[in-house]
Amino acid sequence: MQKVGIVEVAQSAGTESSLSLMEFTYKPVKEVLDKVGMKRDEVDTYILASTDVFHSGMSCANAFDWDAAGAFMKPASREEGDAITAFVYGCMRIMSGEHDTALVVGLIKGSENPENDTLTSFVADPFYSRPVGIQETTAAAMQMRLYLQRYGITEEQCAKVVAKNLGNALFNPYAHIKKRVSVDDVLNSERICDPLKALECAPKSEGVCAMLLASEEKAKKLTDKPVWFKGWGSSMDTFYLGDRDLLDTQLKTAAASAYKMAGVSDPRKEIDVAEICEPYAFQELLWCEQLGFCAQGQGGKLIDSGVTQITGALPVNPSGGVLAMNPYVARGLYRVAEGALQIKGKAGEHQLDKKVNTALAHSTYGFCGQWQGVVILGS
């Protein structure tokens, strides 16, 4: 199979912007093209990922987003949903041999939307789930309670995720939330949906992430440090919460596929850095288990051990993760970008001290992580 490399990435900051979505999207796309020294027209194909109503005030987002993504009169398409799928689709287009270069962009302006909970209440079906008030936060709260009870994970351990990630975010110029919080701050924050506390829930952020992908030959010409697409896995769970074991998620299946494709047999040892989606703090611990970074039920012990700190053996979310910046739907592509930057040695102030050869990028959305995706990148 044709190898695909990430040549260059560009990100927008997560803080509220007064630019129109069109202006806001244009900047990182132009930045990537300029960095690579390519004209818009010279890129073979474009894949966008964005969202229609509800997570944006417009529908058929391909219409409005097309110009700013650079896709005018180019072979292109659009994914609705997390932008990690745009990355994967861009890779597919190059792997098929049809295209040599692909520009992939995920975009959203969270500041233009109402609260995430308002929007995700529409994910709930109108007959059974919506009347009961199920939305992403209430669903996650139920998942958290189960997690705490089944494995004895403590609220302190969950709070440590927030302290770690927001602390890391202080060194990420693009992060939305930049403030140092202590475990006590988190535990004392309002119990908005017990056991979830306010500081344990991701904000709603802006975010445009653009990336240029290329075939092996082309990538080597365009950059001296291409980051290789090594593997991908994705899996869907069933819809009704009662039909699922909320702690035995499809992330296991997604990770297994990704590891198989990338030839990873011992993730805990072979992954140098992981950027994972943790819109609710406890989920970072759960996802670490499902990704095989530790045994089932040991997520609390994992964060206690310090392994996932930025100085640890397997840093998780050195960028600050989704708790620091939550551009819903673009966030998965940000994870890939951050992984790539770490491998390239270009993550600036939050660059890891050790050499990064293998990065894992994870994305999830839907109730209790109904959709899961994992991408493995390598040097």
Partner 1 sequence: MVEQKEKPRKVASMGLVPYEMALGPTWTKFFEGFKEKKILGTKCNKCGRVLVPARPFCPRCFEPMEEWVEVAQEGTIVTWSYVNYTYFGVTPDMIPVIAATIKLDGVDCAMGMSTRIGGFDIKDFDLVTKKVKVGARVKSVWRRNRQGNFRDIDYWKIIE
Partner 2 sequence: MGRAVAVIGTGQTKHGRRDDLSYPDLVRQAVKAVFEDAGITPKDVDGVVYGSMPSMMEGVAYNHFYFADALQVVGKPLLRTETCGSTGQSVAHTAIHWIASGMADIVLAVASEKENEGDAQATMMTILEPFLLVVIGGAPVAFSLQSREWMGYYHIDDDKAREAASIVSVDSHDGGLANPFAHIRVKLSKEDITSAPIITYPVRFYDVCPISDGACAVLFASEEKAKKICKKPAWVKGMGFRGEEYFIGDSNKAVWQSTIEASKEAYKQAGITNPLKELDVAEVYNPFSYQELMFLECLGLCPPGEAPDYVIKGTFSPGGELPCDPSGGVLCTNPIGAAGLIRVAEAALQVTGKAGEHQVEGAKLALSHAMGGAEQFNGITILGSEL
Contacting positions for partner 1 (CB under 8 A): 17-24, 26, 30, 33, 39-41, 53-54, 57, 67-68, 70, 72-73, 109, 111-114, 118-119, 122, 126-127, 130
Q: Would you give the end-to-end CA distance of the chain in angstroms?
A: 17
**Which tokens sit at 109?**
């302006």
SS (H, E, C) 254-303: HHHHHHHHHCCCCHHHHCCEEECCCCEHHHHHHHHHHCCCCCCCCHHHHH
The single residue among 72, 152, 217, 311 that binds partner 2, judged by CB under 8 A, is 72
Grouping H, G, I as helix, E, B as strand and the rest as coil, residue 148 is helix
Q: How far is the CB of 291 from partner 2 (least distance, A)?
A: 16
Contact of residue 64 among partner 1, partner 2, none (CB under 5-8 Å per partner type): partner 2
CB closer to partner 2, 77 vs 309: 77
The single residue among 28, 81, 207, 267 that binds partner 2, judged by CB under 8 A, is 81
Q: How far is the CB of 111 from partner 1 (least distance, A)?
A: 7
State the DSSP H helix or E strand holding residue 90, giving kind and residue range, or none if neither: helix 84-95
User: What is d(CA 303, CA 289) in angstroms, rounded to the nearest whole number?
Assistant: 11
**Cβ partners under 8 Å of residue 60, min gap 6:** 52
- Residue 167: CB atoms within 10 A of its CB come to 18
User: What is d(CA 35, CA 46) in angstroms, rounded to the nearest whole number?
Assistant: 17
Contact of residue 109 among partner 2, partner 1, none (CB under 5-8 Å per partner type): partner 1
Q: Of 9-48, which residues contact partner 2 (CB under 8 A)?
A: 22
Q: Segment near partner 2 (CB under 8 A), from 119-127, 157-165, 291-299, 307-315?
A: 119-127
The single residue among 10, 36, 108, 123 that binds partner 2, judged by CB under 8 A, is 123
Q: What are phi and psi of 134, to 5 degrees?
A: -75, 125
The single residue among 11, 25, 120, 168 that binds partner 2, judged by CB under 8 A, is 120
CB closer to partner 2, 28 vs 369: 369
Contact of residue 152 among partner 2, partner 1, none (CB under 5-8 Å per partner type): none
Query: Considering the rule CB under 8 A, would residue 54 count as an interface residue with partner 2?
Result: yes
Q: Of 246-265, which residues contact partner 2 (CB under 8 A)?
A: 250, 253-254, 257, 261
**Which tokens sit at 269?**
């040892």
Give the binding-site size for partner 2 (rule: CB under 8 A).
65
CB closer to partner 1, 19 vs 247: 19
Q: Segment near partner 2 (CB under 8 A), from 83-91, 175-183, 214-222, 348-356?
A: 83-91
CB closer to partner 1, 111 vs 351: 111
Q: State CA 227 to chain mean position distance.
A: 17
The single residue among 5, 83, 87, 93 that binds partner 2, judged by CB under 8 A, is 93
Q: Is the dihedral of CA 59, 64, 68, 73 positive or negative?
A: positive
CB closer to partner 1, 117 vs 216: 117
Q: How far is the CB of 33 from partner 1 (least distance, A)?
A: 7
Q: In terms of residues, how long is the chain?
A: 379
The single residue among 41, 67, 184, 248 that binds partner 2, judged by CB under 8 A, is 67
SS (H, E, C) 216-247: HHHHHHHCCCCEEEEEEEEEECCCCHHHCCCC
Of 172, 167, 210, 212, give the one whose Cα is nearest residue 15: 172
